[in-house]
Amino acid sequence: MSELKITIDGKAVMVAPGSTILEAAKTVGVHIPTLCHLDLHDTKMVNQAASCRICVVEVEGRRNLAPACATPVTDGMIINTRSVKVLNARKVVLELLLSDHPKDCLVCEKSGRCELQDIAVKFGVREIRIGKDGAQSTYPVDESKAIVRDMDKCIMCRRCETMCNKVQTVGALSGINRGFNAVVSTAFEADLLDSVCTHCGQCVAVCPTGALCEKEHAWDVVRQLADKDKVVVVQTAPAVRAALGEEFGMEAGTLVTGKMVAALKALGFDYVFDTDFAADVTIMEEGAELIDRLTRFKAGDTSVSLPILTSCCPAWVNFIESQFPDLLNIPSTARSPQQMFGAIAKNYFAEKYNIPREKMVVVSIMPCLAKKYEAARPEFNNDVDISISTRELAHLIKRANIDFNNLPEEDFDNPLGESTGASVIFGTTGGVIEAATRTAYEILTGETLGKVDFEELRGFEGVRSATVKVGDMDLNIGIAHGLGNARELLEEIRSGNPRNFHAIEIMACPGGCIGGGGQPYHHGDTEVLKKRQAAIYTEDKNKAIRKSHENPFVKELYANYFEKPMSHKAHELLHTHYEKKDKV
């Protein structure tokens, strides 16, 4: 069908059929304010609830104002986005939203990053004329280990609901009640901890206000740093270094590894280590588990559980425990790198340097809010004491008045700071399985890889598959990022694994850890995620060692402490178990 001719604020434009007024306006540089609308193109999320009505425009021949985000254009349509009628309607809508909103902006976690606040500033709102003495809706604050849900600040944009139900397919959040009592909540208004919430934090990432925020732990870190009786150890995940710079005005995808290390040392941490070291250990354990299952499978053992699923992502683990409990026999039992690091630090490192366990505090810097929940799981014995997000680290650096942009480059401390390129790529979708394949290939074939880049495992598609030749075997690999895509692969496994997958990597967040719920807000710009991904691969390429099993400090760890992958002590400290979680 041919393009449609429309006019926006006197500008003629040709647009594709099916375009909304909002989309058409963008093509001619006309800005229409929005609150509820969000389009994450590469994750196939479009929130068009048209509930906020901030985006209303005037359409010639139409009696009522039209929501630009949800109104398709028609040929010959004449649109006015800035008439007095439009501006007055937007102002009234904004005042109505503010009239039922708390006035604690100065202490709100989203202050300075709140889209409602931004629009109020742009509209020059200086007083709220409506409902000064009227009732305000109020709800109990719900705090989990990872997320704070304050529905007094909810504007019913429904972004979180769309993300949770359509993209992640978790089904933890839904609009309930009607009229003034309408709110987004869990089933039976249960706490998040009692719901099927995976704590992935993607709802936090898309929430325009302070209704959904991360559970703040930065001041807990400050208190530990101030305690001179404590030895405070910090670990940093690979995705953090590819995004932290954005909080200091740097271009997305700028690698700030050395500056980040310098900042952590300036903050006063006793040891600055790298989660990437533990990621290399993860490959030793997870890779050994993969090789064991494949070897037994090739020998005709029909009891082998295949495909093996990666287990690095805690939100994904929460997802399978509550929604696919019949498949709990197939994930690797290897702990995540965060938890492996905690166990290694509080056992191997503490013993080596004569540090009493009770005096050691392990802090993790993670791109993920589910890591906060994971650290508190009882089976991990408080190996990780505090987990903070990339955003929280940025807040700490700013509070300490550290000039991040002009910091020198510094190196991680050893022995738990040395890592390989294989561990760095844990930060992006496809990275964990590529790292495992590098090691599994060389161990299974006894040959040295000529080319370590398995580009067939890379990409940004939500569900991918590839076949890698490993000796005389075709290794069938599946990859999914985003829990909705994970569901697709899990349902396929339930139906008999028709594509004969041997191994599957799953990451809960779009893009993998680079798009984690604790990363700097990308506001729907997936180009930001792609730049972070490119940075991760650049760091991998620049590493002197690019295969986990060649890390000299990992070799030393096994020679002097664990003996070998999957040994009794390795199982005790580096592996876990899964349980069915009955939640609503």
Distances (CA, A) of 298 to 107, 303, 307: 60, 12, 13
d(CA 483, CA 493): 15
For residues 264 and 351, membership in a common domain is answered with yes
d(CA 298, CA 374): 35
d(CA 395, CA 189): 32
For residues 78 and 130, membership in a common domain is answered with no
Structure tokens at 89: 């309607």
d(CA 201, CA 370): 7
Burial of 132 (0-12, 13-18, 19+ CB in 10 A): exposed
For residues 111 and 243, membership in a common domain is answered with no
DSSP bridge partners of 38? 47
For residues 56 and 145, membership in a common domain is answered with no
d(CA 287, CA 551): 15
Q: How many domains does the chain have?
A: 3
Residue 143 inside a domain? The answer is yes
Phi, psi of 87 (to 5 degrees): -65, -40
For residues 238 and 381, membership in a common domain is answered with yes
d(CA 33, CA 119): 8
pLDDT in tens, 245-257: 999 999 999 999 9
Structure tokens at 260: 């980040």
Residue 380 inside a domain? The answer is yes
Average pLDDT of the segment spanning 398-418? 96
pLDDT in tens, 365-396: 999 999 999 999 999 999 999 999 999 999 99
SS3 assignment for 308-374:
EECCCCHHHHHHHHHHCHHHCCCECCECCHHHHHHHHHHHHHHHHCCCCHHHEEEEEEECCCHHHHH
Residue 127 has pLDDT above 90, yes or no: no
For residues 175 and 42, membership in a common domain is answered with no
d(CA 201, CA 429): 17
The DSSP symbol for 44 reads T
Q: Which of 24-28, 44-48, 158-162, 415-419 has the lowest mean pLDDT?
A: 44-48
Residue 22 inside a domain? The answer is yes
Q: Which of 21, 56, 82 is the last residue of a domain?
A: 82
pLDDT band at 183 (very low <50, low <70, confident <90, very high): confident
For residues 13 and 50, membership in a common domain is answered with yes
Residue 410 inside a domain? The answer is yes
Structure tokens at 582: 């009955």
d(CA 415, CA 131): 61
Residue 90 inside a domain? The answer is no
At 237, which CATH number? 3.40.50.1780
For residues 408 and 536, membership in a common domain is answered with yes
Residue 47 has pLDDT above 80, yes or no: no
Strands 463-470, 473-481: pairing kind: antiparallel
Cis peptide before 331 (omega within 30 of 0): no
The single-letter code of the amino acid at 334 is: A
Cα-based angle 39, 42, 46 (whole degrees, multiple of 5): 25
d(CA 447, CA 467): 19
For residues 71 and 202, membership in a common domain is answered with no
d(CA 91, CA 120): 9
Average pLDDT of the segment spanning 338-363? 97
**3-class secondary-structure state, position 26:** helix
At 120, which CATH number? 3.30.70.20
For residues 375 and 467, membership in a common domain is answered with yes
Contact 36, 125 (CB under 8 A): no
Query: CB under 8 Å to 374, separation ≥6 — which residues?
Result: 314, 317, 336, 338, 339, 380, 384, 387
> For tokens 């039992």, what's the residue?
333
- Could you give the residue numbers annotated as active site? 286, 289, 312, 332, 371, 374, 379, 513
pLDDT band at 114 (very low <50, low <70, confident <90, very high): very high
Contact 264, 234 (CB under 8 A): yes
Cis peptide before 307 (omega within 30 of 0): yes
The single-letter code of the amino acid at 8 is: I
Q: Could you tell me the residue range of the domain that residue 105 belongs to?
A: 98-214
Phi, psi of 405 (to 5 degrees): -60, -25
Share of the chain above pLDDT 90, in %: 82
For residues 440 and 496, membership in a common domain is answered with yes
Structure tokens at 95: 């005042």
Contact 4, 17 (CB under 8 A): yes
The pLDDT assigned to 43 comes to: 61
Residue 584 has pLDDT above 80, yes or no: no
pLDDT band at 209 (very low <50, low <70, confident <90, very high): very high
Q: Which of 167, 195, 214 is the last residue of a domain?
A: 214
Residue 11 vs residue 259, higher pLDDT: 259
For residues 383 and 525, membership in a common domain is answered with yes
Cα-based angle 40, 92, 89 (whole degrees, multiple of 5): 75
The pLDDT assigned to 178 comes to: 84
Residue 68 has pLDDT above 80, yes or no: yes
Residue 584 inside a domain? The answer is no
Element (H, E) at 174: strand 174-176
The pLDDT assigned to 582 comes to: 83
Share of the chain above pLDDT 70, in %: 98
Structure tokens at 482: 């985003």
Residue 1 has pLDDT above 70, yes or no: no
Q: Which of 180, 214, 248 is the last residue of a domain?
A: 214
Residue 579 inside a domain? The answer is no
Phi, psi of 265 (to 5 degrees): -70, -40
Query: CB under 8 Å to 392, separation ≥6 — which residues?
Result: 214, 216, 217, 218, 518
Query: CB under 8 Å to 119, separation ≥6 — which residues?
Result: 33, 35, 54, 94
At 26, which CATH number? 3.10.20.740
Residue 342 inside a domain? The answer is yes
| Tally of CB atoms within 10 A around 426 | 31
Q: What is the pTM of this model?
A: 0.93
